[in-house]
Amino acid sequence: MTQEQFLLLAQILHLSPSPELEHETQRPDGPLSPEAQQILALHHQLKQAYVIHRPTAFRVVVSHDDLDRFPGALDLKQGMRVQLVSYISERYINVRITEVPSTPKAYFRGMVTEQNTGYTLFEVGDSVYFSEDQVHAVLKPSAGRHP
């Protein structure tokens, strides 16, 4: 979260910004104060609602010509973690599926769960839309991962 985001969220929540509170929200590595929890929760809600990456941001990894995995072969469910490939950077983006499509022509919706690279267009908490044929891999659940 940038300093501008922190100040705006503190103002929205009617909290007095302080260097300690800003440090707490920048590096949430220990127990958080109620104010820091409020700011971080609102930050995540706003990112999920308003920072949305469209399917054109991800590479299609299977086509109808692929014999080892044809489109529609994956049985994706809400809560599963998948890996997408950024069209621009060719980097892997880890995503948790938050909504499955109601029709075959609609898109999955997910949330970026992890960022392994420095500067990138995708940040943890961003929403993404994608199709099944854009899924590079289904990630196995592991203990200790954040939601």
Over residues 25-66, the pLDDT tens digits come to: 877 777 888 888 898 888 888 888 888 889 999 998 887 677
Cα-Cα-Cα-Cα dihedral of 3, 5, 6, 7, to 10°?
90
Assess whether 57 and 110 both reside in one domain: yes
Instruction: Indicate if the pLDDT at residue 9 is higher than 80.
Output: yes
Assess whether 77 and 120 both reside in one domain: yes
Q: Which residue has the tokens 């621009």?
A: 88
Q: What is the pLDDT of residue 90?
A: 86
Q: What is the pLDDT of residue 142?
A: 64
Q: What percent of the chain has pLDDT over 90?
A: 28
Name the H helices within 13-94: 19-26, 34-50
Domain that holds residue 9: 3-50
Q: What is the pLDDT of residue 69?
A: 75
Amino acid at 92: Y
Assess whether 59 and 123 both reside in one domain: yes
The number of folded domains in the chain is 2
| Stated pTM of the model | 0.74
Residue 147 lies in a domain: no
Residue 146 lies in a domain: no
Assess whether 110 and 62 both reside in one domain: yes
